[in-house]
């Protein structure tokens, strides 16, 4: 992928089409604002050396979005009020991931070594409706919880571009596996974003740029939620533990390595669906096993 400029909005692609553990970054040249510093590290180092970056914005507190934040230790950091605390302490971040036991220790190692986690206290906490003066354009902050409690999207005034961040419209579908993530809020946030008029749609992963309304992709993206749920209900025709279900690879579709990391993620997503299905009375749980009614 190539770096593309939409006037003052620079789309800086991440390696491998921004696929995890990477993401695409945005740079607003008119104000020196860098959003989600996790694209190509060499390109971000160039911006750093040229002293172009004046402010760093984070759409949310996930490792694949703050990967190269360590390059900008002395640059003001702005984040959401709900996700900001997780950036101050690795233990708080691990708690927000709901990581425990062996998975927690693996996550800690990955966060520190691969994603360069360093505790940071945001200099400004952003909320829904905030307007950021970016020189030749204005940035409107849109609170879009679900992926994380404090996930933010950004609407740029000129050109009228909407940054969806991790509501990325990929075939993988939404992620809502953190402790305070929510399937229902995810659906509401995607519905809200779909309703916002724009000329350009930008995402943190995958295709990254849509210069025409993604249209069908909005629904396909949300439909992944129901597809996962249907698969779970099919599996639960016989009693299953959450560990049994994780080995069916409902989320990733195939075994992934390191297995402990990806099985943890499978269980995190499956657990959200199990709670939802229990509430709706479609399954029951007995002695750690779930079965469809």
Same domain assignment for residues 69 and 157:
yes
pLDDT for the residue 247: 97
Same domain assignment for residues 286 and 195:
no
User: Does 219 map to a domain?
Assistant: no
User: Does 8 map to a domain?
Assistant: yes
Which of 214, 238, 254 is the last residue in one of the domains? 214
pLDDT tens-digit profile, the chain (293 residues): 999 999 999 999 999 999 999 999 999 999 999 999 999 999 999 999 999 999 999 999 999 999 999 999 999 999 999 999 999 999 999 999 999 999 899 999 999 999 999 999 999 999 999 999 999 999 999 999 999 999 999 999 989 999 999 999 999 999 999 999 999 999 999 999 999 999 999 999 999 999 999 999 999 999 999 999 999 999 999 999 999 999 999 999 999 999 999 999 999 999 999 999 999 999 999 999 999 99
Q: Are 75 and 58 in contact (CB under 8 A)?
A: no
Same domain assignment for residues 112 and 180:
yes
CATH number, domain with residue 276: 1.10.10
Contacts of 265 (CB under 8 A, 6+ apart): 177, 251, 252
Same domain assignment for residues 49 and 153:
yes
Place of tokens 């299905």: 277
Which of 214, 239, 266 is the last residue in one of the domains? 214
Residue 8 sits at φ, ψ, to 5 deg, of: -80, -5
Task: Give the full edge-to-edge strand order of the sheet including 152-157.
Answer: 131-133, 138-143, 152-157, 160-165, 200-203, 209-210
User: Does 140 map to a domain?
Assistant: yes
pLDDT for the residue 181: 98
User: Does 148 map to a domain?
Assistant: yes
Number of domains forming the structure of the chain: 2
Same domain assignment for residues 87 and 207:
yes
Same domain assignment for residues 106 and 138:
yes
Same domain assignment for residues 162 and 210:
yes
Same domain assignment for residues 143 and 184:
yes
pLDDT for the residue 128: 98
pLDDT for the residue 187: 98
Domain that includes residue 46, residue range: 4-214
Which of 185, 214, 243 is the last residue in one of the domains? 214
Phi-psi region of 173 (alpha: psi -120 to 50; beta: other; left: phi over 0): left
Same domain assignment for residues 197 and 239:
no
User: Does 105 map to a domain?
Assistant: yes
Question: No. of H helices and E strands in the chain?
Answer: 8, 15
pLDDT for the residue 73: 96
User: Does 245 map to a domain?
Assistant: yes
User: Does 207 map to a domain?
Assistant: yes
Same domain assignment for residues 199 and 125:
yes
User: Does 101 map to a domain?
Assistant: yes
pLDDT for the residue 242: 97
């Amino acid at each position: 992928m190539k770096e593309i400029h939409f006037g003052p909005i620079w789309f800086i692609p991440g390696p491998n089409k921004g696929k995890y553990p990477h993401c695409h970054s945005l740079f607003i040249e008119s104000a020196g604002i860098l959003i989600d510093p996790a694209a190509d590290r060499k390109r971000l180092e160039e911006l750093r050396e040229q002293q172009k970056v004046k402010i760093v914005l984070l759409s949310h507190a996930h490792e694949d979005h703050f990967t190269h934040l360590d390059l900008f230790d002395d640059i003001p950091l702005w984040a959401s009020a709900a996700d900001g605390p997780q950036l101050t302490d690795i233990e708080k971040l691990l708690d927000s991931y709901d990581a425990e036991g062996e998975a927690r220790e693996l996550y800690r190692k990955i966060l520190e070594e691969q994603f360069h986690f360093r505790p940071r206290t945001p200099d400004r906490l952003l909320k829904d409706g905030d307007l950021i003066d970016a020189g030749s354009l204005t940035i409107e902050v849109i609170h879009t919880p679900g992926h994380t409690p404090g996930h933010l999207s950004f609407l740029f005034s000129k050109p009228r571009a909407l940054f969806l961040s991790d509501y990325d419209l990929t075939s993988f579908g939404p992620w809502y596996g953190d402790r305070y993530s929510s399937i229902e809020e995810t659906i509401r946030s995607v519905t809200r974003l779909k309703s916002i008029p724009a000329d350009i749609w930008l995402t943190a992963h995958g295709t990254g740029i849509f210069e025409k309304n993604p249209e069908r992709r909005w629904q396909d993206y949300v439909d992944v939620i129901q597809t996962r749920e249907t698969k779970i209900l099919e599996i639960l025709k016989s009693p299953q533990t959450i560990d049994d279900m994780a080995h069916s690879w409902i989320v990733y579709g195939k075994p992934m390595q390191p297995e402990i990391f990806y099985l943890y993620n499978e269980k995190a997503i499956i657990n959200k669906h199990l709670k939802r299905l229990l509430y709706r009375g479609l399954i029951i749980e007995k002695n750690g096993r779930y079965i469809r009614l």
